[in-house]
Amino acid sequence: MEIPGLDDSERRTTLSEVAKNMLKRSVIFAVIALTTRVAWAAPTSITACRNITIPGSYQLANNLQATGNCLLLQSSDVTIDLNGFSIGGNQTGAGITDGGTKRLRIIVRNGTIQLFQTAIDLAHSQIVTIQKTNITNNVNGIMAGDYSGVDTCFVGSNIQGIRLGSSCTATNNRLSKNRDVVISTGNNCIVAGNNGSDNSKALGIRGGTAALVIGNVASSDYAGINVGDGSTVADNTVSDDPLFGIIVNRGSTVARNTATLNGTGANGEGIQVHENSLIWGNTSSQNKFGFTIYCPTLVLGNTSLFNSSSPPFYFANDLACESVNNLPPP
C-alpha cells in the first residue's frame, strides 16, 4: 500500500494501527451482534426453584429439583414456559403453586412436572391455562379454579388427575393410571376430546351442571362419565368400567354414546339417565344392565343388546316415558 509522504517504517506502523483499529471495531461489532442475539431471549430465565413476584414471561433454562414447593407465584399475569424441561419434587409441596392466594391469568406450558404432592396447585386462582405439559407421579395432578383450561396434556400415575372449577375447559388430554379421579370439573364446563382410559380404580369424568361432555374415551376406569343437570353427553365411548358407564342427571341430552362391558362389578348399568331428558342413538351392550331411565324421558332409537341382566330398558319410576324405535322394544 502506497501512503504518500511516509517512509517504510512509518508506513508499517500505520498499517499496523489500521489493522488494530479494524480488529477492535470487528470485536466490538461482534460483541454488539452477539449481545443483540442474547437480548432476543426476552423471557426471564429460571434456573432454580424460586418465588415469582412480578408479572411477566418466564422460561426454564434447565431442569429444576425441589424439596417442597418449587415455583411459588406471588403475582398475577405470569406465563411460565417450561421449555421442555422438568420440575421434579420429593413427593411434598407443589411444582407450581399460588400458595393459597388467588392469582389471575397464569399460563403454564411445554414441560414436565413430577413427584410432588401436587404438580400444579392453582386451586385458589382463576383464568389458569395449562398446555402441553406432562404431569406424572404426583398425589394431585392439576388443580385450578374457575375459568381455567387444560389442553393437550398427559396426566398419568397420579392419585387425582385434573380438578377444575366452573366455566372450564378440559380438551384433548390423555389421562392414564390415575387412581381416584381422572377429570373433575365444576359447572358449565366443556370436556371434549380427552382419552381418560386405563385408570382402573378411578372415577372417570365427573362434571357439574350444564356440562358439555363430547368425544371422550373413558374406558377401563372404575367408573365412566357422571354429570349434573342440564348437560349434554354425546359421542363418547365408555367401556370396561365396573361401577357404571354413564350417569347423567335431569334435563339432559345423552346421544350417540357407546357403552359396553360396564357395571359388571357393582350391578351397574351402561347408561343411566334421570328425569326430563332425551336419550337417543346410544348403544349400550354387554353391560350388567343396559339402560336405567327415570321418567318422564324421551327414549329414541337406542340399542340395548347382550346385557347380562334384564330388562334392556329399565324404567326406574312409575311415571311415563316415551319410547320410540329402540332395539329391542321395551
Given candidates 69, 71, 81, 272, which one binds another protein under the rule CB under 8 A? 81
SS3 state of residue 65: strand
The Cα angle at residue 317 between residues 307 and 211, in degrees rounded to 5: 75
Residues 221-250 that bind another protein (CB under 8 A): 229-232, 234, 250
Shortest Å distance, C-beta 132 to another protein: 11
Given candidates 93, 111, 141, 149, which one binds another protein under the rule CB under 8 A? 149
Which strands, in side-by-side order, build the sheet including 237-239?
Answer: 237-239, 258-260, 283-285
**All residues at 6 or more sequence positions from 105 whose CB lies less than 8 Å from its CB, including other chains:** 76, 77, 78, 127
| Contact call for residues 204 and 241 (beta carbons, < 8 A) | yes
Report d(CA 161, CA 137) in Å as an integer.
10
Shortest Å distance, C-beta 66 to another protein: 22
- 36 near another protein, judged by CB under 8 A: yes
Given candidates 125, 199, 272, 277, which one binds another protein under the rule CB under 8 A? 277
Given candidates 73, 210, 217, 259, which one binds another protein under the rule CB under 8 A? 210
The H or E element containing residue 322 is strand 322-324
Given candidates 68, 88, 296, 311, which one binds another protein under the rule CB under 8 A? 296
List own/partner pairs for 99-105 with CB under 8 A and 24 or more apart: 99/69, 99/72, 99/73, 99/74, 100/124, 101/74, 102/126, 102/145, 103/73, 103/75, 103/76, 103/78, 104/76, 104/77, 105/76, 105/77, 105/78
Burial of 154 (0-12, 13-18, 19+ CB in 10 A): middle
Nearest Cα neighbor of 164 from 132, 205, 201 is: 205
Q: Which CB atom, from 150 or from 243, has the smaller least distance to another protein?
A: 150
- 251 near another protein, judged by CB under 8 A: yes
Report d(CA 263, CA 260) in Å as an integer.
9
Report d(CA 252, CA 273) in Å as an integer.
8
Report d(CA 296, CA 239) in Å as an integer.
27
Residues 2-21 that bind another protein (CB under 8 A): 19
Given candidates 88, 92, 105, 159, which one binds another protein under the rule CB under 8 A? 105
Segment interacting with another protein, rule: CB under 8 A, options 1-9, 90-98, 187-195, 307-315: 187-195
Given candidates 4, 7, 38, 40, which one binds another protein under the rule CB under 8 A? 40
Report d(CA 319, CA 298) in Å as an integer.
12
Given candidates 86, 114, 119, 151, which one binds another protein under the rule CB under 8 A? 151
Shortest Å distance, C-beta 200 to another protein: 30
Segment interacting with another protein, rule: CB under 8 A, options 92-100, 161-169, 236-244, 283-291: 161-169
Q: Which CB atom, from 139 or from 298, has the smaller least distance to another protein?
A: 298
Binding site for another protein (CB under 8 A): 19, 22-23, 26, 29-30, 33-34, 36-37, 39-40, 42-43, 55-58, 77, 79, 81, 104-105, 107, 127, 129, 146-147, 149, 151, 166-169, 171, 187-190, 192, 209-212, 214, 229-232, 234, 250-253, 255, 275-278, 280-281, 296-298, 300-301, 322, 324-325
